[in-house]
Amino acid sequence: MHRTGWIVVLFCLGVGFLMGGRQLGFLLGALLFASLLLHEAGHILTAAYFRVPVHECGIKLGGVYIRRGYALRRRDEILIAASGPMVNLLIVFPLLCVPRLGSQIAMCNAVIGLINLVPLPSSDGLHILRNLAPYTLCATSRLRSEPATESWCRNPLDPSRIKLDKP
């Protein structure tokens, strides 16, 4: 864990106490943190399925992250990127059936899943979008001028590239 990773842990506990109060706050914070780990586990398991090496999994300011290689097919890249948010979204409904904390942790997972699908920089959503429409993005001069995107446009299957994923 990076030294700024404690901020993520404290943030989860803070949200937990805000939502669950003194009685349930710690448990809710721990479950929120576990939800972040589950998100990354989704990416890791899907990457393992497609034999994509995962070089690192850690926690730092900004959240839990993995560093991994790239899949050989864009479809697999999309599935690996989508699997994190999908884990969060898939457990929303089962969690709603859990008494007491279920609805709160379900809401946290819905937020984690949906926020990660918004195509912001370094997000799963943007990664999915780029793989869905790589030629369109490569054609835009602004993105072509960015070194990372330029290498992607030149050779999308270059195995030396490593993706940094933030939940």
* Interface positions with Zn ion (CB under 5 A): 84, 124, 167
3-class secondary structure, 154? helix
Q: Which of 20, 84 has the CB closer to Zn ion?
A: 84
Q: Which strands make up the sheet holding 163-165, listed edge to edge?
A: 54-60, 63-68, 163-165
- Spatial CB neighbours of 86, under 8 Å, sequence gap ≥ 6: 42, 113
The residues with which 59 forms a beta bridge, in sequence order, are: 64
Q: How far is the CB of 116 from Zn ion (least distance, A)?
A: 5
Cα gap 109→131, rounded to integer Å:
25
Q: Which residue is nearest to Zn ion (CB)?
A: 84
The Cα angle at residue 79 between residues 126 and 150, in degrees rounded to 5: 40
Q: Which of 37, 143 has the CB closer to Zn ion?
A: 37
Q: Which of 81, 137 has the CB closer to Zn ion?
A: 81
Q: How far is the CB of 11 from Zn ion (least distance, A)?
A: 17
Q: Which of 20, 87 has the CB closer to Zn ion?
A: 87
Q: How far is the CB of 40 from Zn ion (least distance, A)?
A: 7
Q: How far is the CB of 46 from Zn ion (least distance, A)?
A: 11
Q: How far is the CB of 167 from Zn ion (least distance, A)?
A: 5
Q: Which of 35, 104 has the CB closer to Zn ion?
A: 35
- Find, among 66, 59, 65, the residue nearest to 8 by Cα: 59
3-class secondary structure, 148? helix
Query: To 10 degrees, what angle do helices 74-90 and 5-49 make?
Result: 120
